[in-house]
Amino acid sequence: MTANGLLRKDQLERNLFDERRLIEEGILKEDNPLDFSVNFQKLCDACRRGDLKVCQEMIQEGTNINAKDQYDYTPLILASLCGHYEVVQLLLESGALCERDTFQGERCLYNALNDRIRNLLLQYDYSKTTDPLQPLASHLVSLLTRDHPKTYDITVITASETFYLHKFILSARSPYFRSKLAQAPDTKVWKPAPTIPPQSFAIALKHLYLGEIPREPGGGPGTGFTDSEILAGVDRISKHLEIQNLSQLILDGNDRRLARQRRQDEVQRGRDQLERWFRDNVIKHAIEIETSRADDIKWDRNNGIFADILLRADEDEDEAEDEGDVPVPTNRDVQRQSSTNALGIPISHSDRSRSPSRTRKPRRSKIYPAHKAMLMRSEFFNTMFSSSFLEAQPTPHLQIVSIDCSPAVLEIILTFLYTEKADFGLDIAVDVLFAADMLFLEKVKAKAALVISSLGNGSAIAMPASTALSPEMVAQENVSQSQPPPPQPKDTPHDPSNSQPADDELDIYEILRAAWLTRVQRLEEFAARYIAYRLEAFIDTPEFAELVKESAERITRREETDSIELLDDIRYYLSERFRLRFEDSGLEDVMDEEAAMAEAVAQSQSQSQSQTQAQTEAQSESQERTKNGAEDAHAKPPQPLPRWGTDPKHPHEDEGVDMSASTSTATPTPTSTPSTALSSVLNPPSTSGAPSVPTAASAPSTDVDQDPNQNPDQQSIQALLASGAVRTLDGELAGDEFAAMAVDYQILLDKIDRLLEKLKLDA
């Protein structure tokens, strides 16, 4: 070792060699093992793409998120390198390791794409990446010293000390106690052999309650026993109680890394034993009964699963409906569905009219036997059992406590309290969120918010099924074409083919209201982003206007200078939605020219009246050429549509040109956006008020075979779409995708402003 206390290079190499040897022998577990499984490959691919939904699904299936692939990449490194902030956050919250003192941790920080991700990684230091089962272990250890409220049901008496224990924990963790208590469940007192030192039994007891084994046995002067005698006593009591590797845990305490790994393995083994006992006793012995008879249940206190409380959950009324006699839901029923219905639960039919003779299944309830010692992990139950409430008073039979949730949700809550595990799907995530908020289980609330924001989000740039096009526009765009238009990028907001199925969409309004009620900031941000990336589907609906009013009313004593939090978030994510598409193309400055664009659009609209006469003359001349059978209809190629990011080759290229007229009569007029430039092409105004139809002479010539049954207007639109034109949200055409997105961005902002004016709100 050097003078400054650092290891020499040869000592480091020796330590690395010894560590590798221990890993090969199976004594030491590698933090980042190689994983070639299919699920891990799916997880890595999802981290590269930023697919939150697939990442969450793979994590729920138990994929090791700290493993590495054949290229020595962990999922966290991939997500950090590719710049997916939400995926990095999901992995860290799920237990991904990012320790600065390790090679993989430093590599993850070094590869972070931006400062936002790097700062997030730095927040998750060693203290946040410890064993996720530590809260469960800490609670079990605290039961050894907790005397109020009374939860113990067996007393262990040694020569110098008395321990107050819990039968269900001893039965789950020790095969000896499992067998003994199964034969005599009424046992109240147990005495170990007097030759065993009390310190030895205390060490074994702490191990059974998932406590950390002390590095020193605790013998010496004043204790009455030497260290060797205590170790010998630990060995005897571990064999008697059938506890494995207890002595080895004490001997491995000098190696910090090995001790930490052994500790994590033992806590994991203890959790698995508790989960197995929980499912074989609590879940297996749950009683399903008609709700009207639930209060008649009598459960004796001396029972084989050592339960001291009963929890009751009633089925929803819609679940009690007779499945064989359910009518088809009407539009009124669909509109009244709740937040849970919108996430996949069958729609309630309880309010529909029924004939008096119609039979219904009786409503049912489910009653779970439970243990106060585990329920007290919830502050709700801890207060209930520690105070003078009726549920805390002793009674001859077990008391029944009703929980306002469904049996499936209560089972998820109980599973978390007993095993620190909470796995559930999107269909009941909102119900779990409300139940966790009621029971003050912040970790389950965070888990529910994580499930909703990841599984409900899918692709961050997925667009809604509905479009802003009118039926006439859709009809024109869907006319039969001999050659389909070129495919658009996957993430373009103009292609309805990218839309998610309507059945997969969330009721985002109820999700946001749930976030407000439960005070979950993550869900509020998710809802705002979800709406912003699909704003064209929501902005014109009365439900969205009502939601904006609710957001404004959340501020008491509102003043004119107060903003609306929902709209602030939507504007931010709307800017992010479009700006991300421009950053790599050098067009991000376009997004900062909103005022200039709005002014130019207003100027273009004011000039439209001056164009009417010239366009009418051009239309008349085109129709006359059509009647005369002009043969040069396709003689000239179409003039290119205005596009962003290119400089005009000629002075007139940045001007709107009426392409429906001949060259000699075309009247160039200034314009600011591609959609304005094309308004005269697609819909030239006429003095009679009837829609004008371009002639064959004015239709652009393309290589696409034109359908003779199509009118010239449809042929013109077809040719423009085939040449790469893109529709904007107002139904106009733009020269390319970037031009359309710039127009769409301004259209959506204008709609927000008009909505505020309509609601008479200042924001």
What's the pLDDT tens digit per position in 306-317?
999 999 999 987
Predicted confidence at residue 154, as pLDDT, reads 92
- Does residue 96 have a pLDDT over 80? yes
Average pLDDT over residues 693-706: 41
Q: What residues have CB less than 8 Å from 181, skipping those under 6 apart?
A: 167, 170, 171, 187, 306
Least confident of 166-180, 249-263, 367-381, 683-697: 683-697
Better-predicted residue by pLDDT, 329 or 147: 147
The chain-wide mean pLDDT, for the chain, equals: 73
Q: Tell me the range of 124-128, 233-237, 487-491 where mean pLDDT is highest.
A: 233-237
In the predicted model, is pLDDT for residue 544 greater than 80? yes
**Binning pLDDT at 50, 70 and 90, where does residue 42 land?**
very high
Q: pLDDT per residue over 594-647, tens digit each?
A: 445 555 555 555 555 555 555 556 566 655 555 555 444 444 444 454 454 444
Question: What pLDDT, on a 0 to 100 scale, did the predictor assign at position 701?
Answer: 43
Cβ atoms 762, 560 nearer than 8 A = yes
Q: What is the full DSSP assignment across 417-460?
A: HHHS-----GGGHHHHHHHHHHTT-HHHHHHHHHHHHHHTT-ST
* Residues of the chain above pLDDT 90, percent: 24
pLDDT category of residue 125 using cuts at 50, 70 and 90:
low
Q: Mind spelling out the 3-state secondary structure of 518-559?
A: HCCHHHHHHHHHHHHCCHHHHCCCHHHHHHHHHHHHCCCCCC
For residue 478, what pLDDT is reported? 38
Which of 25-29, 51-55, 96-100, 246-250 reaches the highest mean pLDDT? 51-55
pLDDT tens, residue by residue, 68-84 = 888 888 999 999 999 99
Buried b (16+ CB within 10 A) or exposed e, 28-62: beebbeebeeeebebbbbbbbbbbbebbbbbbeee
Residue type, 685: P
Mean per-residue pLDDT for 264-278? 91
Q: Does the pLDDT at position 367 exceed 90? A: yes
| CA geometry: angle 485, 500, 533, nearest 5 deg | 90
pLDDT at residue 527 above 50? yes
Q: What is the pLDDT of residue 737?
A: 76
pLDDT band at 696 (very low <50, low <70, confident <90, very high): very low
Angle between helices 508-518 and 442-455 (to 10 degrees): 160
Is 261's pLDDT higher than 50?
yes
Among 168-172, 422-426, 714-718, name the most confident range: 168-172
Are 139 and 269 in contact by the 8 Å Cβ rule? The answer is no
Q: Residue range 559-578: average pLDDT?
A: 84
pLDDT value at residue 6: 52
Per-residue pLDDT at 528 exceeds 50 = yes
Q: What is the mean pLDDT of residues 385-397?
A: 85
User: What's the rounded Cα separation, in Å, for the pair 259 and 248?
Assistant: 10
Helices (H) and strands (E) in the chain, counts: 31, 11
- What is the pLDDT, as a whole number, of residue 332? 44
For the cut 50, the answer to whether the pLDDT of residue 687 exceeds it is no
- The confidence band for 743, taking pLDDT boundaries of 50, 70 and 90, is confident
- Report pTM: 0.68
Question: What pLDDT is recorded for position 129?
Answer: 47
| Predicted confidence band of residue 288 (pLDDT cuts 50, 70, 90) | very high
Domains of the chain (ranges; CATH) run: 14-129 (1.25.40.20), 135-280 (3.30.710.10), 287-325+333-346+360-444 (3.30.710.10)
**CA separation for the pair 128, 116 (Å, rounded):** 18
What pLDDT is attached to residue 602?
53
The region of weakest confidence among 410-419, 447-456, 568-577, 598-607 is 598-607
Query: Which long-range contacts does 194-198 make (Cβ < 8 Å, 24+ apart)?
Result: 194/159, 195/233, 195/236, 196/158, 196/233, 196/236, 196/237, 197/224, 197/225, 197/229, 197/230, 197/233, 198/158, 198/159, 198/160, 198/161
**131-145, 348-362, 571-585: which has the minimum mean pLDDT?**
348-362
The predicted pLDDT at position 281 comes to: 94
Helix, strand or coil, per DSSP, at residue 248 = helix
Q: Give the separation between CA 750 and CA 543, rounded to whole angstroms.
A: 19
Most confident of 28-42, 384-398, 691-705: 384-398
